Chain A
Amino acid sequence: MRKLNRRQRLLLGLAFSAAFLIIVCVWGILGAEAARATDFSRKNIPPCLQYPFGTDWLGRDMLARTVKGLSMSILIGITAAAVSAVIALLLGIASATMGRAVDSVVSFVIDLIMGVPHILLLILISVALGKGLKGVIIGVAVTHWPSLARLIRAEVLQLKEMPYIKIAVKLGKSRWHIAVKHMLPHLLPQFIVGLVLLFPHAILHESSITFLGFGLSTEQPAIGIVLSEAMKYLATGKWWLALFPGLFLVITVALFYILGQSLRKLLDPGSVHQ
């Protein structure tokens, strides 16, 4: 096979990551029953051919639980990140276009949110909303938008100064026309990349807050729950309970990162030189 050039390698990585993530999600949704099925005749089996990830103290198949947990975490993470990205888009554009007052208010709010460690803020929000799924999603959505909002703000500010935009304004084009015809094509790739790069963060925070016991109940086996249960059995030597779900969580998050970074490199006009 001939050597692939950089772009082709990127595209390959992108396709692979996307495929893996989609498979995990679909499998997790379809395999909900298997993740919950208890069977005391197969308790505490270390990893073997039949149960590659082993089984737990209730005889549940850890592979099924891992996949189910991951798919839940991915879906929750994506939902929260998407909400967050919309907030970022609105506030980013608002602070770039609606004058100095709005700009300083938004930047103050950003500083405020960055001022409390994310996990602590998630705990606060979760307590305020009485724990549960809602708290997790809102918490992650509220804490993750600042970096993307800053990016969009900077981008819009830069675009506003571009000669071709200024000329369009002088030519009397409507704001709508300028926004859609001239700004959107530049903003959209940035926004999509920013959105995708929010996913891994959101998933990590979702799993962390769930791990601490603020998120979902034990009937909803998100990956954080699976791992926090595993921690209780750590001292008894059941290493597989924590190892495999965690490892797959790492892989999932890493693939999201790769997905986002490949997208960025493909969409970045400067990448023609590499």
Chain B
Amino acid sequence: MNRQRVIFFGKNIIRALLLVVCVSMITFALMKASPVDPLQANVGQAALGSMSQEQKEKLQAYWGVDTPPVEQYLSWAKDFIRGDMGVSLLYRQPVASVIAVKLANSLFLMALAWVISGILGFALGVISGMNRGKPADHVIRGYCLVISSTPVFWLALLLLMIFGVWLHIFPIGLSVPIGVEASGVTLADRLYHAFLPALTLSITGVSNIALHTREKMIDIMESDYMLFARMRGEKGWRLFRYYGFRNVLFPAVTLQFASISEIFGGSVLVEQVFSYPGLGQAAVSAGLGSDMPLLMAVTIVSALFVFGGNLTANLLYGVIDPRVRQGGKAK
């Protein structure tokens, strides 16, 4: 049985790595296909002047016309694995250091939103599913419908309008106060600036997990074991605690890990509206400014997180569920 588990883990990890490699190849190909030539678009200008000879050569090697694409990719990949992600054409800095700063900002924001939306969505889904057809269910479903119909960026605009422009409670942008040294930024400052973006992401993140949890909860409520539990006089909180909770928690946790992609996508839009200097904003500027090295790095970092999330979801499933844990004969 243990061997089975090792194989299961190993298979999942290999698959995730393979996927990341493929993502990098496809991204590279897409960048190559772009009609905008990054060397001409950016390097022809002032950028060249600020680059070292070595950097210029590398750029030439990745994007130059004289080397075949496969070789270009390989040389890029080799550097990437070593931690040399190239130079950002927009920021005039090594991509690695740009990513490090932006990622830290984004992760703070996304982790907040991920946890809040997960817990809130789970709770709403459970309430809705257990009270199917009752007013609470209608309200929660209505909320989910409205939220999943609302573009993230418009919700961000709306909140910005109300809290930033109108009530002046929260800042209009940036992750830290302007003109303050990095060391002088307190956690309170960061929370204050991340509040609206995180709120936006949490509000939108809720609907998916809530609806999914609701479906599961309804299935569980209609299951034979729930029926029997009710016939044994269980109801209300006990019914949920002993018969519903574990059964509905597993799929919800799995889903939340698997939905990191959505929160990443949402953060791109939210950061843009709030001018929050995170990974998403970097992706948009890199896309608009044809900063290929940065765009590629952002893509691969996001993919790493998404696959990491999926992997965790798969592995968690194997760890938590006794049916998978003991003998791997899951349904």
Contacts and interface: CB of A to CB of B under 8 A. Distances in A.
A249 B34 CA distance: 31
Given A117-B306, A211-B153, A250 B146 contact: yes
Contact of A116 (B146, B150, B290, B299): B299
B23 interface: yes
B269 A253 contact: no
A64 to B, nearest CB: 20
A205 to B, nearest CB: 9
Interface of B: 15, 19-20, 22-23, 26-27, 30-31, 33-36, 145-146, 148-154, 157-158, 160-161, 165-166, 172, 261-262, 264-265, 268-269, 272-273, 280, 283-284, 287-288, 290, 295, 298-299, 302-303, 306-307, 310
B145 A214 contact: no
A180 to B, nearest CB: 32
Interface of B is mostly: helix
Contact of A128 (B31, B280, B288): B31
Given A112-B22, A235-B172, A239-B161, A208 B151 contact: yes
Contact of A211 (B15, B31, B165, B269): B269
Contact of A123 (B149, B154, B287, B303): B287
Contact of B158 (A108, A128, A200, A246): A246
Interface in A118-148: 118-120, 123-130
A242 B157 contact: yes
A115 B23 contact: yes
B151 A211 contact: yes
B30 A125 contact: yes
A212 interface: yes
Contacts of B149: 200, 204, 250-251, 253-254, 257
B261 A127 contact: no
B157 A234 contact: yes
A127 B151 contact: no
A253 to B, nearest CB: 4
A233 to B, nearest CB: 11
Contacts of B287: 123-124, 126-127, 212, 214
Given A200-B149, A212-B284, A237 B154 contact: no
A264 to B, nearest CB: 13
A207 interface: yes
B27 A124 contact: yes
A120 B268 contact: yes
A127 B290 contact: yes
A85 interface: no
Nearest to B133: A274
Interface in A241-260: 242-243, 246, 249-251, 253-254, 257-258
A118 B290 CA distance: 19
B35 A117 contact: no
Contact of A212 (B23, B145, B262, B272): B272
A131 B111 CA distance: 32
Nearest to B18: A108
A246 B154 contact: yes
Contacts of A123: 268, 283-284, 287, 295
B268 A127 contact: no
Contacts of B153: 208, 211-212, 227
Contacts of A129: 33-35
Contacts of A47: none
B159 to A, nearest CB: 11
Given A123-B284, A126-B287, A214-B287, A112 B26 contact: yes
B269 A115 contact: no
A116 B157 contact: no
Contacts of A204: 149, 151
A128 B33 contact: yes
A214 B272 CA distance: 13
A20 B166 CA distance: 33
A157 interface: no
Contact of A124 (B30, B157, B264, B310): B30
A227 B23 contact: no
